Chain A
Amino acid sequence: MPAHQTRRWFIQSSSLLFTSVLLSLTACEKLENTPQFNSIDISGAPYGKDFRFQDTEGQWRMLADYRGKSVLLFFGFTQCPDVCPTALARAAAARQLLGKKAKNLQVLFATLDPERDTPAIIKAYVKGFDPSFIGLRTSVEDTKTQASNFKVFYEKVALKDSAIGYTIDHTALSYVFDPNGQLRLAVRDSLTAQQLAQDIQLLLEGK
């Protein structure tokens, strides 16, 4: 490389470096002011205001029943042996990480498959992850409404050559409310239990 080109390269890369340092400083300043969540911050979203399901004891449940706690809501189905256990096992691990504060987190599992998921099946399923978890269910028709209130996409798909009969394709986000009942976070399936626990910790601190 000729000398003048090397110099130009050096100047260009130094200015690039300078700009990135400036940018990261600005980012740090921002960090101090607003909480940085690992999850997707959906505070103020126009959807997911409330829900209405029956728990596995037959009691109707709405968001207000859990006021004062942070609520993690996950839509799934018990014959989903992979994505749903991943989300629920992660929630259980996050509760462990929260230690004494775990009692301020309520994990709810709402079925997208009320045809097969009876209250007894749901109960056995969720308690297998954590005895504090609550399973929720409503009618086939109302499940559509409840899911669409959270922009949850799901679809019953026949698996003709499988002993399962059908499966439910669905979005795999968990939704987290703060203790004031405001929907705050959408949790991707790629997040770890540690990252989730950090986020819930922030919400419990009133952030």
Chain B
Amino acid sequence: MLKNFFLSLVLSICFSAEASNFKAGDITIHQPWARGGANMMAGYMKLENQGKADRLLSASSQVSEALELHQHVHDNGVMRMRKIDSIALPAKEVIELKPQGLHLMFIRLKKPLAQGERFTVTLHFEKTGDVPVEFIVDATGQAAPQKQP
């Protein structure tokens, strides 16, 4: 608990300027950001795996009642959103969670989040373990914010 608190504190000090990168073991999480409405939100980021194959199993956060891994399938002009069980992170590959593709789905926000607001999400990887990262709300973002770390 206390460790988590300090970790969050360190994270918020280190990454107070803009969407940033986070590193844990062989996994680098690039520029997590989120967008959505008063009730639901989608989260995006790039997951770079410099090591052996891993897997994102789930994620958790205080901001919403539920948090799931989802995927959009573009099927002949029809957009279909489905829940998925995990996201495979093959060795030496970059997997991008982005609009109209893979995303984290924040379901039933406890309170609406404002533009630019930051919040912590803990990513649960099969091999790398739990990694807390900070998301930034970019309501009007159309792609990952073009900001350099």
Chain A interfacial positions (CB closer than 8 Å to B): 78-83, 85-86, 89-90, 92-93, 121, 124-125, 128-129, 153, 157, 159, 161-164, 167, 169-173, 189, 192-193
Contacts of B66 in A (CB 8 A): 163
From the candidates A89, A159, A192, name the one contacting B35 in the complex (CB within 8 A).
Answer: A89
Task: Give CA–CA (A78, B99) in the complex, Å.
Answer: 15
- A125 and B38 in contact, given A81-B105, A83-B72, A163-B65 (Cβ under 8 angstroms): yes
Contacts of A192 in B (CB 8 A): 142
Please indicate the chain A residues that have their CB under 8 angstroms from the CB of B70 in the complex. Answer: 82
- B103 CB, nearest partner CB in chain A, Å: 6
Q: How far is the CA of A189 from the CA of B98 in the complex (A)?
A: 14
Q: Which 10 A-B pairs have the closest CB atoms?
A: A163-B66, A81-B42, A125-B37, A162-B83, A81-B36, A124-B38, A169-B80, A83-B79, A81-B40, A163-B107
How many angstroms from the CA of A172 to the CA of B81 in the assembled complex?
Answer: 12
For the A-B complex, the count of residue pairs with Cβ-Cβ distances under 8 Å equals 102
Q: Is the CB of A121 within 8 A of B39?
A: yes
Q: Are B107 and A164 in contact (CB under 8 A)?
A: yes
- A169-B79, A192-B142 known; 4 new pairs, CB 8 Å cut-off, are A81-B37, A129-B139, A163-B108, A170-B78
**Residue from A78, A81, A163, A193 with most neighbouring chain B CB atoms (10 Å):** A81
Q: Is the CB of B72 within 8 A of A161?
A: no
Instruction: Compute how far the CA of A192 lies from the CA of B82 in the bound complex, rounded to whole angstroms.
Output: 25
Knowing A124-B112, A171-B77, A172-B77, the reply to whether A86 touches B37 (Cβ < 8 A) is no
Give Cα A4 to B22, complex, Å.
62
**Closest chain A residue to B37, Cβ basis:** A125
Q: Which residues of A contact B78 (CB under 8 A)?
A: 153, 169-172
**Which of A92, A93, A159 sits near B83, CB closer than 8 Å?**
A159
